Amino acid sequence: MMRVLRRVAVLVGGGALLTIGVAMIVLPGPAVVVIPAAIGVLAIEFEWARRWLRSIRAGAARATSALRGHRGRGAADIEEAR
């Protein structure tokens, strides 16, 4: 019984957080923070959310490494590279 209650609580809480995050796409707010957090909450209980979370983390790692490629270069150097 506790397992079912926990699953329902995670679903309701994560679903609410996800709904708020999606609304923040068009409303002011940090949607890029709230949506992954909601997926993280849902990943506690659901395998599909774990797969999405792994995909989000991989994309964030790729973006971070791409940004770090420009670290230490001046603004003029970056403009010339474009």
Digit-coded pLDDT (tens) for 21-66: 999 999 999 999 999 999 999 999 999 999 999 999 998 888 888 8
Q: How many domains does the chain have?
A: 1
Torsion of CA 25, 10, 51, 38, to 10 degrees: 20
- For residue 17, the enclosing domain spans 2-81
Residue 72 has pLDDT above 70, yes or no: no
73: Cα separation from own chain's centroid? 28
CB atoms inside a 10 Å sphere around CB 46:
17
